[in-house]
Structure 1
Amino acid sequence: MTRVSDPSAPRIAIVGATGAVGNTLIDLIEKRGFRYRDIHLVASARSAGTELNVDGESHPVRAVDEFDFSTVDLAFFSAGTEASRQWVPRATAAGAVVIDNTIAYRMDPDTPLVVPQVNAHELDRRPRSGVIANPNCSTIPLVRLLKGVEQRWGVRQAVVSTYQAASGLGHPGIDELKDASRAALDHPDETYPAKEFTPSLAFNVIPKIDRFLDSGFTLEEQKMLQESRKILGLPHLDVTTTCVRVPVVNGHSEAVWIETHGVVDRTELVEVLAGLPEVTVHDRESRHAFPTPATVDDPDRVHVGRVRVNPNNPRAFWLWLVADNLTIGAALNAIQIAEELVERRTL
């Protein structure tokens, strides 16, 4: 049990508790033993009354439009951007610190954008906005690796292709991929009525995530540039990305090309990456080893493989990374932010 009577333990709310990230947050609270004095599960009115278990205790889900945020010290928001825009101001006005898992506040200058392994110092003080933003699910594992490379060699440019799973759109995305895949196998001549993914993601890849911008890039691609710069404190960092949705249930992958200011030795590079917090380099012992979304065995780590220094440009290298987007890319980062807030007594 992680529910305690200690007055220093926070009273917490999970807004979006019935969603994929909310479910993962609950699992991680139990797994990591995150101590809380009280917990409230919150979602939209249509989910109100649902019962969910936390640490073996049943808790009713409450409707967000009726919830009193003055009863909590810390609120996790994972109910979508519009819900955050509507309800986060109400939560902060009531005195709660919010950890928000949407794009709503990420680029707000009064809101820190935090990956604890990279810029935990941002949590030394309570943010002026009352909000700490959780970055994009593909940005988080990328900046965790870029941090180590920047400290050793400096980063000139990163070129990234992402391969993002259906769970990036939560339970609806997962369900549609499974249903569409079955339909495509059973009725290959018929068109599945796609809703979450257009065209259908079944046996397909879609080189578009989020809406197109006037630049021709998508919002997802712009997020990775802007967020990487803010988290790393490198306002001129050059990150360019193509974001692709792939027919994988869970687990995002990225092929990353990094150009540095210094000459890179592969052996040293592997040791630098392996020395980063919660990173596993699969080809540290054998260059033929690599991670995939289906084979990684620890969702709480960033998995790296295919580390290759370019023989024609020793200041550049490739790597392949895999990270569980519901944990590393969302819920785990949020819980680690909360753990830091408690440790630093920022709440």
Structure 2
Amino acid sequence: MRRQTTIGCIAYAPQISRTPVHRPLLLLTAAAVLPTPVTAAEWDRYAVPADPGPTRVWRLEERVSDEFRTEFGPTNRLTEIGGKWKNHYIGRWDGPGTTVWRHENVSIDQSKLKIIATRVPGETQSFKNADSTGGPPKEYTLPATRLGCISSLETIEAPVYLEARVKIPNAVLAANVWMLSGDSTQEIDVLESYGGAGDDGRNDWFAQRIHFSHHTFIRAPFQDYQPHDASTWYTRPGLKAGPGGGYWTKQFHRFGVYWRDPTHLEYYLDGELVKVTSGLDDADGIGGIDPPGFTRNEEGVRTGLNKPLHVIINMEAQTWNAVAGRHPTDAEIRSKRDHTYLVDWVRAYKPIEESDTKQ
């Protein structure tokens, strides 16, 4: 049986490694959702596109759902945001490649989460990257890129639908929404985008595509699995670049994942199902959830993606891109508009039995 399906246009790329119940006001799909007793949220205009099941309805998970109406200005201290987030990564890591996550590069402005990219002249970041010839990792020192990151204080677990409405920055950087376990061994990438083409077009191929993926890890010795088949890269036929070489950067888009169970992921873009990954193993050349068995428990059973996951929203200058010259130039990063990642909202829903809502 085919384990993973992509709807749309795909192309090959190099391998890379990283509560109340609620009913939307406009039912755009057949998925059942219950009414909310509180003031309608902005996301109520959009039905949950995933199917909760024949006897189930969607219940809002308020712990990680946010319209970012809290006042929050830039601060250079580690700070909680609205009782749901902190303005940094889940651990002490400052980011991959030339990334330096800074508390002050996160704020909320006009009900939008704002993550910005900045650079201090002369500041550098050193990092190692695996040698493609199989030799020891090479060390690089490049201009540091200061970026922002928020992570949820609480976790969610399957079954759950997570979706965010975002405006991807027109920058040669990754803008992401993802989920990660506290021990950093299981990851689901709701959105991994690569911004604009760059002034010289060096990032054009990646700017046209959205990367939909997941990871399983062994931390020591470090091993990282994610599907590397072409279906993990999504684009649309006839996609046109806007000013500055951006394709997905011209307007807000919604990116969602229905994490139905430990071996099944459904990816949605603007309410349309664009990819399904199902089953532990590869099939027909399409990547599975955990072919190498990195999720094996003490009994030797592969669990799949079964751990509680934190929600993370950030920007990155990823290692593999930085060493290839795909990170902002000093001239490019001067454009504040191009280097601002906006998040309108993020929402999560759990499917529950409809009978449970009538008790």
State TM-score, norm by structure 1. Answer: 0.29
Structure with higher strand content: 2
Higher relative contact order (CA 8 A, sep 6+): 2
